[in-house]
C-alpha cells in the first residue's frame, strides 16, 4: 500500500443540511396531496415517478437506510459510509442552491 500525505480525507456528507433536502422533507407530502387541485390543469396528471425519485433522494446518504463499515487494515481506523442511491436527479452540491443567482427572488 502506497501512502500519500496529499490524499483527501473522507468527510461524511450530511444530506439533511441541504436546503433542497429540508424543503422536500417539510413540504413534499403537502405538494403531493394538493397537486391535482393546484397544478394538474396547467401541468397535466401527477406522475408517480416523481414520488419515487423524491423518496429515494430523501433516503440517499442516510445512515438509517443502511451503511457499510469501512476499516483500514493497517491502522484499524473505521468509519461508517452511508449507502448512496446513485441518483443524479438533483444537484450534488448545495452551492447551486445557495448561489447569489439562485437566492434572488422578485
| Higher pLDDT among residues 23 and 100, named by residue | 23
Helix (H, G, I), strand (E, B) or coil at 69: strand
In whole angstroms, what is the distance from residue 13 CA to residue 63 CA? Answer: 11
User: Angle CA(42)–CA(102)–CA(94) in degrees, nearest 5?
Assistant: 110
- pTM over cut 0.75: no
Query: How sure is the predictor about 105, in pLDDT bands with cuts at 50, 70 and 90?
Result: very low
pLDDT surpassing 80 at residue 93: no
Average pLDDT of 24-47? 95
Amino acid at each position: 500500500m502506497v501512502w500519500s500525505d496529499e490524499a483527501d480525507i473522507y468527510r461524511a456528507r450530511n444530506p439533511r443540511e441541504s436546503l433542497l433536502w429540508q424543503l422536500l422533507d417539510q413540504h413534499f407530502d403537502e405538494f403531493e396531496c394538493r397537486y391535482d387541485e393546484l397544478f394538474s390543469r396547467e401541468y397535466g396528471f401527477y406522475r408517480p415517478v416523481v414520488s419515487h425519485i423524491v423518496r429515494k433522494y430523501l433516503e440517499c446518504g442516510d445512515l438509517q437506510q443502511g451503511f457499510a463499515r469501512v476499516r483500514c487494515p493497517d491502522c484499524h481506523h473505521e468509519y461508517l459510509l452511508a449507502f448512496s442511491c446513485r441518483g443524479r436527479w438533483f444537484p450534488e452540491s448545495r452551492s447551486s442552491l445557495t448561489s447569489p443567482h439562485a437566492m434572488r427572488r422578485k
